[in-house]
Every structure is written in C-alpha cells, then in structure tokens.
C-alpha cells in the first residue's frame, strides 16, 4: 500500500525527461523542521520559490540550508567554509554550444581568486571505474565555459580528509 502511494507521488513529481527504474522508500525521523515548513513546501510546489540545486529525491543531508547527497559532500562544504571561498553546491548549470545547450550539474562550483573550478565527489555507487569516460565527457562543457580545473575526488577521501581535499583542489585552481 505505502509502496503504491510512493510510486504515484514520485511519478507525479518527476520531470518528463526522466523515468523511474527503481524506487526504494525508507523512513527516518525529521529533526525539528522550521515552523514555516508547510509554507516553504507550498511555495516550491507552486513555483513561487525557485531552487536551482540539482538534487532530487536522493538528497539526504543538509548543512546551512543547503542539501547534499552524502556526508562526504557535507564535510567538503564545511571545509570550504573554513577557508572562506565562494561555492555553489549541487547546482544546475546551462552548458554547451549555442545549438546544443543542456542542463548539467556540478557537485561544487567553486570560485577562488577570480578563478572558477568544479570539485566532484565520486562515490563508488555512481562513479565506478567503467564510467570514467562518461564522467570526463560530462566535465568538458564546464572546461569549455572557462572552469580552470575540474577535479574528481573519491568520496572516502572527502569523508576522511575534507580539508586535505579542499587544499589540493584550491592549489590546482589558483595555480591554473
């Protein structure tokens, strides 16, 4: 019964260009939502509130009012806050040539010293080695539009050593 309700809800909310292959529902307790959660949700559903974060149903973590897919991403965001650079997490971007525009997503679009770069947090589930060529093809439009650096880091390394990951990334970005 609950599975059917989740399936109907997911079908109603999914963008037309996407299909649902597998649906898994899991419940967890919500930690104190804001007092205005109903109004915020209604504003999003009515289109009065625009949200360019690319995360869909699998956003499981939040930090400073932003949504993330994993604790590794949250730890990278916290490390970026510690160094004080501008970053946009899990954001949709319009990329490509004039006649081949499309939406693409970066885990972190970062600006430091006037240079833009993309930091990707690659978990083994979504980025197995056999997808490397596909991932690099997805990265090229960001480089075409001026991202100086597009670097991929293992999610385990991001979880264990987020400050080291950010330090490595920023060294490449500011050198680039």
> Would residue 114 count as lying in a domain?
yes
Which of 56-60, 89-93, 136-140, 152-156 has maximum average pLDDT?
A: 152-156
> Would residue 13 count as lying in a domain?
no
Q: Into how many domains does the chain fold?
A: 1
CB 25 within 8 A of CB 3: yes
For position 103, which CATH number holds? Answer: 3.40.960.10
| Average confidence (pLDDT) over 56-77 | 81
Domain that holds residue 121: 52-175
Residue 132 pLDDT level (bands cut at 50, 70, 90): low
> Would residue 19 count as lying in a domain?
no
> Would residue 8 count as lying in a domain?
no
Whether the pTM exceeds 0.85: the reply is: no
pLDDT computed for residue 143 by the predictor: 79
> Would residue 12 count as lying in a domain?
no
> Would residue 70 count as lying in a domain?
yes
Residue 55: both structure tokens together? 């995360």
> Would residue 81 count as lying in a domain?
yes
Distance between CA atoms of residues 130 and 128, nearest Å? 6
> Would residue 121 count as lying in a domain?
yes
């Amino acid at each position: 019964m609950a599975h059917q309700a989740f399936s109907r809800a997911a079908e109603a909310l999914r963008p037309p260009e996407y299909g649902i292959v597998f649906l898994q529902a899991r419940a967890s307790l919500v930690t104190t939502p804001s007092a205005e959660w109903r109004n915020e949700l209604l504003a999003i559903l009515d289109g009065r509130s625009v949200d360019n974060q690319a995360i869909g149903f699998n956003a499981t973590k939040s930090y400073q009012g932003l949504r993330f897919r994993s604790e590794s991403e949250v730890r990278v965001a916290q490390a970026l806050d510690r160094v004080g650079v501008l970053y946009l997490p899990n954001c949709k971007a319009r990329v490509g040539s004039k006649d081949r525009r499309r939406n693409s997503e970066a885990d972190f679009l970062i600006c430091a010293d006037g240079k833009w770069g993309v930091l990707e947090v690659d978990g083994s589930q979504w980025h197995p080695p056999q997808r490397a060529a596909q991932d690099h093809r997805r990265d090229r439009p960001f480089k075409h539009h001026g991202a100086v650096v597009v670097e991929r880091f293992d999610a385990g390394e991001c979880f264990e050593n987020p400050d080291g990951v950010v330090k490595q990334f920023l060294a490449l970005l500011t050198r680039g």
